[in-house]
Amino acid sequence: MSVRVLHADHVLPGDAPPIADGAVVVDARGAIVEVGAAAEVLPRHAGPTPERVRGVVFPGLVNAHTHVELSSMRGKIAGGHGFVPWVDRLVTTRSETLPDEDAEAIERAAADLAASATVAVGDVTNSLTAVAALARRGIGGAVFHEVLGMDRDVVLRRIDGLRAELEERVPSWPGADVSYAPAPHTLFTLHPDAARALLDSAERRGVRTSLHLAEHAAERRAVEHGEGPVPEWFATRFKQRPEWPKRPLFDLAADVGALRPHVVLVHLADARPDELARVAAGGAPVVLCPRSNLYIEGRLPPLLAVLAAGIEPALGTDSLASNASLDVLAEARALADRFPGVAKWELVKMATWNGARALGRDDLGRLARGARPGVFAVEGAVAGDPAAFLLANLRAPRRELARRALRSAEELASLAPPAGEPSARKEMS
Ligand SMILES: [Zn+2]
């Protein structure tokens, strides 16, 4: 099979430190054949003329946590006052938004994601409205169909109805290069029995699911003590007074089965070192969303404690309701600015290989033999650290050198939700 040889000033493999004067060999399907120092790689592939790239070559990016369907909320939801005022405003503004506005904003967001070299997302959705737009741009990853509700019986019926809703609303969906799983929203907005059912179901199906966990202090107060702005919000906004668990947040997380390798834990901004140690021991992938945490709560995730616990975090943008862009490299940049001691290539790794692993996609996020991650470049004269160059030049065009190979029909078929789970019983709530 014919191959292309890319000879670059710098190669950032995604899963390893940068290679100065590097080369990447890629086949016609976009699969990586070899990566390494040009002096070693080029002599082994003497046939094709190397394509010279002046700048930094890197794999397609993975935005491991976002909500593309909220893209019309850009600039409309004020931040800085904490989670409850933010989400209350979000609920109101969502209810006033027309479907056409949503569709237009979703298209623009998908185009921006593609232009920013993003090849996969962990997309949380209530409506499934963004799935088709992402698929049209060749963006794959994982669809997390979010479930909320503190009324146990109502929400368990809702879970039963998800499969029927999926078939009704996105008939063309299984053609997209994504895994699908219903996902609990949080442990303060979903009854624990429902959270447990969703997490167990994803494990049985061998797919990733997702949970927002320890995003802010109000979450802990609600779960552990039944106090604070969250219970007040339930009472005033929804006239609901749920029975709160009144247990340590991470005991509850462990009890519902969230600290396991198939559950992508998002945020952990309010997690303590002993809790991070439990997350690490359980093997759950972690996604940090620094710019969203800064926007809503004015705080950063505890990156150094996360790393000290042995966690290799991925990065996500969260939605445009709490962020200025869906560019996951901007998350790496936000961390670089505030944690200058962390190696810049490690931050790029969080936006590539760690994200791919979090979503269960070993074929993405790294320039490594056999992977099919999409190959991109930012061109220019690089003085010093090429990862620092990438993070300092967020506005520079990201040129696609080799397209991410889509998975085969057989591979895609294996990702479709199996018939009958969740069951086809129709029950909307
Ligand atoms: Zn989120």
Domain with CATH 3.20.20.140 in the chain: 61-360
Asked if 303 contacts 268 with a C-beta cutoff of 8 angstroms, the reply is no
C-alpha 301 – ligand 1 centre gap (Å): 14
Six-digit token pair at 155?
Answer: 């929400």
Predicted confidence (pLDDT) at residue 427 exceeds the cutoff of 50: no
CATH class of the region 3-60+366-409: mainly beta
Is 90 exceeded by the pLDDT of residue 285? yes
Distance 139 CA to ligand 1 centre (A): 19
Q: Is the pLDDT of residue 425 over 80?
A: no
pLDDT for residue 9 is more than 80: yes
Q: CATH 2.30.40.10 occupies which residues in the chain? A: 3-60+366-409
Higher-confidence residue: 294 or 417? 294
Across the range 47-55, mean pLDDT stands at 96
Closest CA to 319 of 46, 116, 1, 87: 87
Distance 318 CA to ligand 1 centre (A): 5
CA of 79 to the centre of ligand 1 (A): 15
- Do residues 5 and 25 lie in contact, with contact meaning Cβ atoms separated by under 8 Å? yes
Q: The dihedral of CA 282, 182, 287, 193: what is its sign? A: negative
Cα-to-centroid distance, 143 and ligand 1 (Å):
13
Q: Quick count: other Cβ atoms within 10 Å of Cβ 425?
A: 12
**At 279, is the secondary structure helix, strand, or coil?**
helix
User: Ligand 1 centroid to 66 CA: how many Å?
Assistant: 6
Give residue 176's pLDDT: 66
pTM above 0.85, yes or no: yes
- The answer to whether residues 63 and 315 touch, using CB atoms and an 8 Å cutoff, is yes
For the chain, the first-to-last Cα distance in angstroms comes to: 54
Residue 426 pLDDT exceeds 70? no
Give pLDDT tens digits for 145-202: 999 999 999 999 888 888 766 666 554 555 568 888 999 999 999 999 999 999 999 9
**Is 50 exceeded by the pLDDT of residue 396?**
yes
The rounded Å distance from CA 368 to ligand 1 centre is 30
For the segment 344-362, the average pLDDT, to the nearest whole number, is 97
Question: What pLDDT is recorded for position 166?
Answer: 66
- Band of the pLDDT at 406, cuts 50, 70, 90? low
Q: Distance, CA 67 to ligand 1 centroid (Å)?
A: 6
How many angstroms does the Cα of residue 186 sit away from the middle of ligand 1?
Answer: 10
Ligand 1 centroid–CA 424 distance in Å is: 27
Per the CB < 8 A criterion, the answer to whether 4 and 13 are in contact is no
* Span 64-68, average pLDDT: 98
d(Cα 60, Cα 140) in Å, to the nearest integer?
11
Q: Which residue has the higher pLDDT, 128 or 87?
A: 87
Rounded to the nearest whole angstrom, what is the distance from the C-alpha of residue 264 to the centroid of ligand 1?
11
The Cα 144–Cα 328 span in angstroms is: 18
pLDDT digits (tens, 9 = 90+) for 92-135: 999 999 999 999 999 999 999 999 999 999 999 998 889 989 98
231-270 CB burial, b ≥16 within 10 A, e <16: bebbeeeeeeebebbeeebbebbbbbbbbbebbbbbbbbb
Pick the closest to residue 401 from 43, 55, 39, 14 (CA basis).
55
Mean pLDDT of the chain: 92
Query: How much is the average pLDDT of 270-279?
Result: 98
pLDDT digits (tens, 9 = 90+) for 191-232: 999 999 999 999 998 899 999 999 999 999 999 999 999 999
| 126 CA distance to ligand 1 middle (Å) | 12
**CATH assignment, 61-360:** 3.20.20.140
Q: Decide if 288 contacts 280 (C-beta within 8 A).
A: no
Which of 72-86, 131-145, 265-279, 389-403 is predicted least confidently?
A: 131-145
Q: Hey, CA dihedral for 348, 351, 263, 141, is it positive or negative? A: negative
| CA dist., res. 265 & res. 287, Å (int) | 6
Of 252-256, 371-375, 378-382, 417-421, the least confident:
417-421
DSSP string, 45-94: T-SSPPEEEEEEEEEPEEEEEE-GGGGGGTTTS--SS-HHHHHHHHHHHH
C-alpha span between 280 and 74 (Å, rounded): 34
CA of 65 to the centre of ligand 1 (A): 6
pLDDT at 418 over 50: no
